Structures are given as structure tokens and as C-alpha cells.
């Protein structure tokens, strides 16, 4: 996800445990981030990407689990045919 130069930020106030604040501050130093807010924003973005990847994976699994034996055999035959269309390395 590309960062938008015009992305608007909203100021919020949150109460976090000392352990969480210590963790965020150590991540800020480790990543040489400009602020704890920037670290928190990136952690949230990572979590969103991870959640989306899990959703996509579950969708793909659901699709393949829904295929009949005939459809699986047809897909396998197409795959074997496709492999014959590439030149040998």
C-alpha cells in the first residue's frame, strides 16, 4: 500500500500500558522512525495486510475445496498440457 502524500492524520488520545509504550518506543528507536505514532501506524498497516492475506488464503482454500473431482481432474489435465508448452531449460 503506497503512502499518500495527502493522507490526512487525525489526532486521538489513547491510554496504553507502560509495557506497550516501552515496546513502541523501542521500535521507534530500532526503526529510526520519526515518532511513536509512525511506528503504531505501521504496525496497524502490517496487521491489516496480514488480515487481508488470511482472507484471500481462506477464499482460495474455499474455492479449491468446492471443486468436484471432475473439475480437479480437468484442472490437472490443463496444468499438464500447459507444462508441455514451455521450452526445456
From first to last of its 89 residues, the chain has per-residue pLDDT tens of: 555 555 788 999 999 999 999 999 999 999 999 999 999 999 999 999 999 999 999 999 999 999 999 999 999 999 999 999 988 76
Within-domain flag for 70: yes
Establish if 88 belongs to a structural domain: no
Q: Please report whether residue 11 resides in a domain.
A: no
User: Can you give the residue range of the structural domain that contains 26?
Assistant: 21-82
* pLDDT for position 76: 95
pLDDT at position 3? 58
* Among the listed residues 60, 16, 59, 71, the one whose alpha carbon sits nearest the alpha carbon of residue 39: 16
Q: Does residue 16 lie in a domain region?
A: no
Continuous segment of H or E residues that includes residue 25: helix 18-31
pLDDT of residue 66: 96
The number of folded domains in the chain is 1
66 within domain boundaries: yes
CA–CA gap between residue 88 and residue 27 (Å, rounded)? 48
Q: Answer whether 0.95 is exceeded by the pTM.
A: no
Query: For residue 40, is it within any domain?
Result: yes
Domain-embedded: residue 89: no
Amino acid at each position: 500500500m503506497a503512502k499518500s502524500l495527502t493522507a490526512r492524520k487525525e489526532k486521538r488520545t489513547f491510554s496504553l500500558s507502560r509495557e506497550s509504550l516501552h515496546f513502541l518506543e523501542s521500535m521507534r528507536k530500532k526503526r529510526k522512525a520519526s515518532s511513536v505514532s509512525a511506528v503504531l501506524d505501521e504496525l496497524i498497516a502490517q496487521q491489516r495486510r496480514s488480515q487481508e492475506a488470511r482472507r484471500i488464503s481462506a477464499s482460495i482454500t474455499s474455492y479449491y475445496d468446492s471443486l468436484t473431482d471432475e473439475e480437479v481432474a480437468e484442472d490437472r489435465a490443463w496444468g499438464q498440457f500447459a507444462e508441455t508448452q514451455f521450452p526445456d531449460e
